[in-house]
């Protein structure tokens, strides 16, 4: 029977968390060769490789991902035990750490994350940010999943996988007066219409540019926003027309008091859960994917 040395497993856990031997050495205050030797011993005892090199970084193999999940539970419970003995309250259950790219509208993000937020024994920690830093955090296992409106591309040299949650048509909205002015004669009526657009670095902007070009429409761009909610706040005050995902159409109408001009059925925006696992075993990620497939887009 294989004997598991928990000291070796703990060193492996720290290397997986930090993403490098050097960073783990500093945290553990041990020499680099010492940790390297312990990892090799652990891999030898398990009979499988736990890490593979990707440039200067170490990334987990599929076996390493499995080992990391168990190590996370083992040492996480150990920390809970110490806290309980010291009279500190438990932290509220298993952590689910998710990153949301800042261009994903908040109501869309909430709809996807709701199954995880309602799971008993799971405490969700949600971070919002730019795609690159979130992907870097995913690579060193500071995040369990990234929610994005575009897939992870070849520019990210990570051992991670895109899970398509679903795709949505787009809806063009406007404050009531503007909506009445531009609804008739769609889509030709939008040529020269005042528009509030997301910035060029977003999937939605690229999709809109393609659709405008295909329809030979030249909108009058009033303003561009990175922040989706700020864009809609300006839109509800009559600053210009704007587009958003159709899956939150009802929320947009109710919350911003705008009206639908039309839906763009031929253009679809996609949403992805990006995780380190090809075959998802994290229950929170699995619940998000299942709910998206069966309820949100089903």
* Ramachandran category for residue 161: left, alpha or beta (phi over 0 → left; psi -120 to 50 → alpha): beta
Which CATH code is given to the segment(s) 6-85?
1.10.10.10
For residues 103 and 256, give the distance between their C-alpha atoms in angstroms, rounded to a whole number: 18
Answer yes or no: same fold for 94-166+271-296 and 168-269: yes
Tokens of residue 24, six digits:
């783990």
Q: Residue 27 above 60 pLDDT? A: yes
Query: Whole-angstrom Cα distance, residue 145 to residue 116?
Result: 12
Strands of the chain (E only): list them.
51-54, 57-60, 94-101, 122-129, 145-148, 161-174, 194-198, 220-225, 242-245, 259-275
Domain chopping of the chain, boundaries: 6-85, 94-166+271-296, 168-269
Asked whether the whole model's pTM tops 0.85, one would answer: no
Q: What is the CATH topology of the domain spanning 168-269? A: D-Maltodextrin-Binding Protein; domain 2 (3.40.190)
Angle between helices 249-256 and 106-117 (to 10 degrees): 120
Q: Residues 13-30: what's their mean pLDDT?
A: 84
Q: What percentage of residues in the chain have a pLDDT greater than 70?
A: 92
CA dist 76 and 236 (Å) reads: 46
Q: Which residue has the higher pLDDT, 282 or 218?
A: 218
The pLDDT score that the predictor gives to residue 89 is 47
> What pLDDT is recorded for position 81?
67
Task: Provide the β-strand partners of residue 162.
Answer: 274
Q: Are 266 and 211 within 8 A, CB to CB?
A: yes
User: Which residues fall within 8 angstroms of residue 51, CB to CB, at 6 or more apart?
Assistant: 15, 16, 39, 58, 59, 60, 61, 64
The answer to whether the CB of 235 falls within 8 A of the CB of 256 is: yes
pLDDT at residue 90 is higher than 60: no
Average pLDDT score, the chain? 88
CA–CA separation, 14 and 21 (whole Å): 9
**What strands, in cross-sheet order, belong to the sheet with 145-148?**
122-129, 94-101, 145-148, 259-275, 161-174, 242-245
- The pLDDT score that the predictor gives to residue 191 is 97
pLDDT of 88 strictly over 70: no
Q: How sure is the predictor about 279, in pLDDT bands with cuts at 50, 70 and 90?
A: confident
Closest CA to 246 of 146, 162, 150, 173: 173
Q: In this predicted structure, what is the pLDDT of residue 32?
A: 84
Confidence of residue 139 (pLDDT cuts 50, 70, 90): confident
* 260, 171 contact by CB (below 8 A): yes
Q: Give SS3 for 127.
A: strand
CATH 3.40.50.2300 fits 94-166+271-296, yes or no: no
**C-alpha–C-alpha distance, residues 162 and 96, integer Å:** 18
* CB 272 within 8 Å of CB 279: no
């Amino acid at each position: 029977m294989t004997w598991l040395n928990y000291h070796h497993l703990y060193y492996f856990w720290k290397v997986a968390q930090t993403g490098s031997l050097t960073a783990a050495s500093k945290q553990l205050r041990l020499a680099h060769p010492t940790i390297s030797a312990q990892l090799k011993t652990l891999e030898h005892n398990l009979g499988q490789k736990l890490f593979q090199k990707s440039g200067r970084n170490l990334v987990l193999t599929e076996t390493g991902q499995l080992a990391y999940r168990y190590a996370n539970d083992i040492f996480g419970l150990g920390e809970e035990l110490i806290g309980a003995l010291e009279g500190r309250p438990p932290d509220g259950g298993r952590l689910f750490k998710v990153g949301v790219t800042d261009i994903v509208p908040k109501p869309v993000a909430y709809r996807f994350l709701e199954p995880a937020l309602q799971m008993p024994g799971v405490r969700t920690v949600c971070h919002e940010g730019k795609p690159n830093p979130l992907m870097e955090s995913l690579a060193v296992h500071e995040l369990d999943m990234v929610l994005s409106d575009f897939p992870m591309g070849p520019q990210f040299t990570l051992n991670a996988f895109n899970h398509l949650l679903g795709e949505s048509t787009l809806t063009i909205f406007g404050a009531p007066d503007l909506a009445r002015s531009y609804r008739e004669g769609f889509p030709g009526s939008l040529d020269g219409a005042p528009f509030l657009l997301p910035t060029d670095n977003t999937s939605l902007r690229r999709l809109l540019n393609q659709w405008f070009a295909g329809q030979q429409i030249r909108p009058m761009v009033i303003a561009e926003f990175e922040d989706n909610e700020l864009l809609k706040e300006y839109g509800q005050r009559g600053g210009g027309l704007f587009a958003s995902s159709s899956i939150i159409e009802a929320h947009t109408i109710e919350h911003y008091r705008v009206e639908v001009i039309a839906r763009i059925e031929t253009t679809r925006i996609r949403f992805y859960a990006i995780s380190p696992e090809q075959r998802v075993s994290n229950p929170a990620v699995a619940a998000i994917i299942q709910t998206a497939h069966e309820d949100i887009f089903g």
